[in-house]
Chains A and B, each alone.
Chain A
Amino acid sequence: MQELVCFIPLFPLLGFLLLALVGKRLGEPASGWLATMMVGASFITAVIVFFGLRSEDSSKRIYELELFEWIPSGELSVSMGFLGDPLSITMVLFITGVSTLIHMYAISYMHGDPNFSKFFVYLNLFVFSMLILVLGDNLLMTFLGWEGVGACSYFLISFWFDDAANASAGKKAFVTNRVGDWGFMVAMFFIFFKVGSLKYSDIFASIIEENLISQVTATVIVVMLFIGAAGKSAQFPLYLWLPDAMAGPTPVSALIHAATMVTSGVYLLTRMNPVLAEASEWSTNLIWIVGLITALYAAAAAVAQNDIKKVLAYSTVSQLGFMFVAVGSGLYVAAIFHMITHAFFKALLFLGAGSVIHGMHHEQDMRRYGGLAKAMPITAATFILGWLAIAGVPPFSGFWSKDEVLLAAWNENKIAWVLLLFAAVLTAFYMSRLVFMTFFGKPKWAEAGSPQIEDEDQSHEASTEGHANEHEVIEPKESPWLMTLPLVALSLLAVIAGVLNLPFSHDTKFLETWLEPILFGNEVHVSASGSTKWILAMVAIAGATFGIGFAVYVYRLNRITPETMEPKILRDAWGFDQWVSKFMDGPGKKLFTSITWFDKNIIDGAVNSTGRLTEQIGTKMRVLQTGLVRTYALGMVLGSIVVVIYFITRMNF
């Protein structure tokens, strides 16, 4: 059954080709359904392959398939080959599963868009690239998917390209990602130089069996791969593109910028675990430290955002930081576990936000929301489940996976644990804030024609009262079933996904057993005793409760004015983005301009003045020469014609 693995990416590819050719003619909603069916077919295939692998012995759960040789050159031989193993199939299962639901949702969400079918062209191409990324049996295949998803992300962020901001956000995402890709490429060069191959099995064999890679090289490779991973997975300081990427339609944010693409970095580092194991400790420390910084930094920024999608964007950055903490500490299973649960609850939250935005006529400012639970009961109910999952409330899925990430931090360093716990508390807090502002309290939208809320304007009371110039009165309604059905499905998954890896005994750690063969014994086992783990879990629960409780205190009971909790520095995400933009527009641009000036005035200037000088000398010496290039040229033409004729006459074919 494993042979079917090549069909998994084939379906979305077929969908992409069909839609690119006849999508416009199929129109709405047929093109959307076609795309959904293709991804659904991938999902079903993936399930079959999964059961095929499961039926094998744990050491035989690997299926390799080589389609054709892609780039042969000298010692280099790269194939279009697939690797179906526990890790890639795990990735494929949640990617295609979540994708199918989001495709379905998008049929309704994108209703009426003039480029409806084009949206699904890109979406199918994205799924195809993502599947290539995780199924590739060598680094270059992964890179092919890696850049492919980047390109699709670029298309989809700037999908509504009329708006300059969307177009800019797309470009920013692509260019920032390319900075990471530079690291990925350099890592490949080092690996090829040392191993002579880019195939995963060769690389691992060279480490495990032949010791070809020294510690220093492994360290360099890990750092370079991490730069690549940090670009794609939005780690500090390359996270800058992700908040802006929310300019894309909400299904895109859910699929690409929350559930799948942004987790590629975690996948890559997990896949390369033998190299990480070989590298010196500081490089893996670097990974978890950057992860920790990102987790804290972004969680703090999420506290003060008013745009519902921005909150979720910073939340995603922060959660990815959690995953990197786990990867850097060598707890790969925890990282993958959190990646899966996060895919469920974050996709759910984004789609829920999309449903709200849809119901609110594209209003994204939470200060205009409130009391929506009554108007949109299904959205609210499912969203609340997602909220409890991300906040870390047991027994929802996020609790279990986050607990393991916290254990990873504990295992590394107690201070790291405290800081990460704080990030978790912040998570519970900002998500509660979001839920309260959106679904509970006084409906702000009911007050007709509320004026524009200025960004600097800190008080939402001031902005919502008065000015009764009645423009449109928004009457939020529940979204259609095509949108709510995926919400229900995802909320179910967000609730129960914890069962994938329950910590009670070895038998309940399904994911850990499943992934074991591809981790080559590199999974770190936390040394803490059982009782310590229990205490840590209790502290985590207390933290989550505190975060939610404090949000109730501020946003429900209004004991503290919310403004004090939302300083401008947090709203600006610590001002880093502005600082970078300022640098780019200032010294950066100046450097580019001066090089261009140098080209025009110095280099070309030198050429032209030499030309003028010779011309002047030429005029003085003009006795025989006419000084006209034209004449010379004609002379040459005549000369060459003579030569050519001579040629022809001298030859006897």
Chain B
Amino acid sequence: MGSFAFLSLAASGPSFPTIPALVILPIIGALTVALTPSARVGLHKLLATLFSGIVGAISVWVLAAFESNSDFQFVSERTWVESLGIQWFAGIDGISLFLVVLTGLLFPLTIVAINPSHDHKAYYVWLLLLQSGCMGVFVALDLFMFFVFFEIVLIPMYFLIGKWGHGNAKYAATKFFLYTMLGSAIMLVSIIALASLHSRDSGNDLTFNLLEIAENPAISTTTGRILFLGFALAFAVKVPLFPVHTWLPDAHTEAPTAGSVILAGVMLKLGTYGFIRFGLYLFPEASHFFAPLFLTLGVLGILYGAVVATMQSDLKRLVAYSSIAHLGFIILGTFALNTQGIQGATVQMINHGISTGALFLLVGIIYERKHTREIANLGGIQKSAPILAGAFTIVMLSSIGLPGLNGFVGEFLILLGAFTANRWWAVVAAVGVILAALYLLWAYQRVFHGQADPSDEEIKDLTHWERLILVPLIVAIVYLGIYPKPMLNRIEPAVDRLVAHVEEHAEEGRFREPTPTVGVRSSFADLVENFEHHEDHHGHDSHHDEGGHE
């Protein structure tokens, strides 16, 4: 218990209930929208914008008030079901911070940007409930509470896809629902088993408190490994990881634009976040033990997603498969189990949310104008809509991982981390970087370059409104590519703590040697000068006595 005494520090003070506000405000918003008369269509949007916007503002405040250390901050802790040891226990650390901000901001943006085709009221109710659910997942530090939110999220998304989707929407929604339900059912069993076994083996009261279970490991290695697999299955489906990924292309393709943006931007992170927060933290030994398996699945996902994306004829489906490749990177970084890998994975979660969210928005805009997503029926858009093409280009290059834009930072750190963990997988995974250029540029060429079908009317360029929506995303893409330091600095302490935790509990001696660090060398100039000094001695035999050793 004492091992997380630092919590009391952060939790002290009768300050503003930040986390409850983040989670509950959208629910209040949903209820408010539900209570307004159906006829007042404009009001629904206004209310939804207002509530999700306030949540967004609070999340930005959280970002500003967050202190760069490894503690959980804004901790909110209340007893819930005392007899079962279930708590409302929530907090934010560097790993969840930016996911909270992303959830806070992407929802109002989506609500403002896209109008539903019908049933406005229900649409906004579901979106607000979805925001609450996602927030809940990212802040929960109690296993049971986590599970509740993890499940809640399914329902709004099920209705958003089923009711406002295109084409075979019912099929896609059902598949999405059943598939992820299956995973979570096993996770529920694992959660209950973990809590009760932990209480049995440690002799403490039954608790679902994440920190308490993780910091005082009690269960046996084998049990840990089995339970880890239970969690991992649920997360793997949610990520989704090859080969349990096929719900994603269907869900993405049939979902309405808002659904796709949220699905890609926020919901796909539930699984990867789950792996980092619960998988690694609760089961360090098992994570280490199964790391080769997940590294393999990550690499497979990267290559497989990219190859299948290349051959898609539907633009939206192509972007969906590209997500599978990007999420493969996140898994790769996570199971590298070192600072660069996990930090890269966390960064990549945010970046993928921004870039792929923007990509889906743009595809939605194209669909709205051309009423088709078939790549073969598109073409020459750049001629009549240069600004749309320009926006698409920037987002695409971010997705390809061009240095100077956000996507590169995460990918590079992941590959660097993976290389230290298992060099060959990193070398193979880096091939994904080539393939990403292939499928996206090829798609771009077919959609934007060439001549437009002369029979078509000219496609309208981005409206002022659409530009306004895209600007914040593009600014984020450039800013996080050039100056990711503030973000990395906030993420790192939490990641370091997690890495230390994993290294401490995983079997000893199986970890790599730490990377050698060169003694701080003042400059190139010194080097050249030193070299010239020693030129008389000829050659470069090792001068161990020189230079800035530590």
Interface positions of A (Cβ within 8 A of B): 59-60, 62-64, 68-76, 83, 85, 137, 140, 143-144, 147-148, 151, 154, 158, 161-164, 166-168, 170-171, 174-175, 178-179, 181-182, 185-186, 188-190, 192-197, 199-202, 204-212, 517-518, 520-521, 591-593, 595-596, 599, 603-604, 607, 611, 629, 633, 636-637, 640, 643-644, 647-648, 650-653
Contact = CB atoms under 8 A, between A and B. Distances in A.
A197 B517 contact: yes
A60 B488 contact: no
A603 B521 contact: no
Given A62-B528, A63-B525, 5 more contacts: A71-B412, A72-B492, A73-B339, A201-B527, A596-B312
Given A70-B485, A212-B518, A151 B24 contact: no
Given A175-B434, A596-B308, A640-B155, A71 B530 contact: no
Contact of B433 (A178, A209, A650): A178
Interface in B502-527: 514-519, 521, 523-527
Contact of B426 (A69, A151, A189, A196): A189
A64 B151 CA distance: 55
A153 to B, nearest CB: 13
B174 interface: yes
Contacts of B488: 71-73
Given A73-B339, A201-B523, A650 B434 contact: no
Nearest to A177: B437
Contacts of A518: 528
Interface residues of B, number: 98
Interface of B: 17, 20, 24, 27, 78-80, 88, 148, 151-152, 154-155, 158-159, 174-175, 177-179, 243, 245-247, 304, 307-308, 310-312, 338-340, 343-344, 380, 382-383, 397, 402-404, 409, 412-413, 415-416, 419-420, 423, 426-427, 430-431, 433-434, 437-438, 441-442, 444-445, 448-451, 482-485, 488-489, 492, 496, 514-519, 521, 523-532, 535, 540, 542-544, 546-547
Contacts of B433: 178, 181-182, 185
A72 B492 CA distance: 9
Top 10 closest pairs, chain A to chain B, by CB? A74-B339, A167-B449, A201-B524, A62-B525, A604-B246, A211-B542, A189-B419, A196-B517, A161-B449, A596-B311
A643 B409 CA distance: 40
A137 B174 contact: no
B437 A517 contact: no
Contacts of B308: 595-596, 599
Contacts of B304: 595, 599
B297 to A, nearest CB: 13
Given A69-B485, A148-B403, A208-B531, A171 B521 contact: no
A554 B322 CA distance: 55
Contact of B178 (A62, A83, A178, A629): A629
A68 B423 contact: no
Given A85-B524, A178-B434, A603-B246, A161 B419 contact: no
A39 to B, nearest CB: 20
B517 A205 contact: no
Contacts of B489: 72
Contact of B340 (A69, A76, A520): A76
Contacts of B431: 182
B529 A60 contact: yes
A73 B343 contact: yes
B427 A72 contact: no
A192 B415 CA distance: 11
27 contacts: A70-B483, A71-B409, A73-B492, A75-B517, A83-B524, A147-B404, A148-B402, A161-B448, A168-B445, A171-B441, A175-B434, A175-B438, A178-B433, A182-B430, A186-B427, A189-B427, A200-B524, A201-B521, A208-B531, A209-B540, A210-B518, A517-B532, A591-B307, A596-B312, A599-B308, A607-B246, A650-B80
A438 to B, nearest CB: 32
Contact of A75 (B78, B382, B515): B515
B78 A652 contact: yes
A206 B518 contact: yes
A190 B175 CA distance: 43
Contacts of B177: 629, 633
Contacts of A201: 521, 523-524, 526-527
A595 B300 CA distance: 12
B80 A137 contact: no
Given A74-B343, A143-B403, A595-B307, A174 B485 contact: no
Nearest to B321: A599
Report which residue of B178, B448, B518, B546 has the largest number of chain A beta carbons within 10 angstroms of its beta carbon. Answer: B518
Contacts of B409: 71
Contacts of B412: 71, 140, 185
A209 B537 CA distance: 13
Given A175-B441, A640-B152, A62 B524 contact: yes
A210 B519 CA distance: 10
A644 B484 CA distance: 37
Nearest to B401: A147
Nearest to A188: B416
A205 B308 CA distance: 45
A166 B448 CA distance: 13
Contacts of A59: 528-529, 532
A137 B522 CA distance: 13
Contact of A72 (B155, B449, B485, B547): B485
**Most chain B CB inside 10 Å of its own CB: which residue of A179, A517, A643:** A517
A12 to B, nearest CB: 14
A196 B246 contact: no
B524 to A, nearest CB: 4
A60 B524 CA distance: 10
A71 B413 contact: yes
A192 B546 CA distance: 21
Contacts of A170: 441, 445
Contacts of A171: 441-442, 444-445
